[in-house]
Structures are given as structure tokens and as C-alpha cells.
Amino acid sequence: MATVAVIEQEQDIRALLDTILKKRGFTTVLLPGMKNSELRKQKVDLVVADLYTVWTTKPEFPVPFMMIASYLSEKSEEQLVECGARSVLRKPFRVQDLVDTVTKCL
């Protein structure tokens, strides 16, 4: 099964995402913030990143990525896709929506 890096500053949300993904058979790497040097040390297939934890003018990851976000305009979502995000999932989301989106992005 694939390895997914979860980048989320909120420990409770990070732990929840970890539990959901592990129960569905994914291996996870948990990171509290965005440091490409830390991410490059890990062998991951996909990054699931909270938009507000990693936001810069242009998010850059060494592997495919998807974003999760609470508040996001349609234009901002389009810009993220233009920057390379395979998908943008809006909070709150259902567990199955997360799993389906991760699977689709792989």
C-alpha cells in the first residue's frame, strides 16, 4: 500500500488523519509543518497537506500532493490545481471522501 505524508499543524487533526489512513491500509508519515528537507528524507507517494500549515505563494512538494482546507474561494482552489495540487478537499469532509480522494490522487 502507498505511503502518505500528512502535514498538519494541529496535533488532534494530524492524529485523526493518521488513524483514518492507517485503518484503510496506508502507511503514514506525520509532519507538523512544512520543511522540504524533512519531506525529502521520507519515501512517500503522496502528500496530504493542510493549506494553512504550508501556504506560501506557491506550494512545492517533491512528490504528488493534495490539499485540505477549511476556507477557500473557488479562485484559490483553481490556483492550487494550477500549482500542481491533484485535488483540494474542503473541511469538514467525510472519512470516505478523504479515502476516495487520496486513492484518486495516487
Query: Is the Cβ–Cβ distance between 60 and 20 less than 8 Å?
Result: no
Sequence letter at residue 37: S
20-51 pLDDT tens trace: 999 999 999 998 876 656 777 888 999 999 98
As a whole number, mean pLDDT of residues 79-84 equals 86
CATH superfamily of 3-105: Response regulator (3.40.50.2300)
Q: Which residue has the higher pLDDT, 52 or 14?
A: 14
pTM recorded for the entire structure: 0.89
Q: What is the pLDDT of residue 1?
A: 87
Task: State the Cα–Cα distance between residues 86 and 38, nearest whole angstrom.
Answer: 21
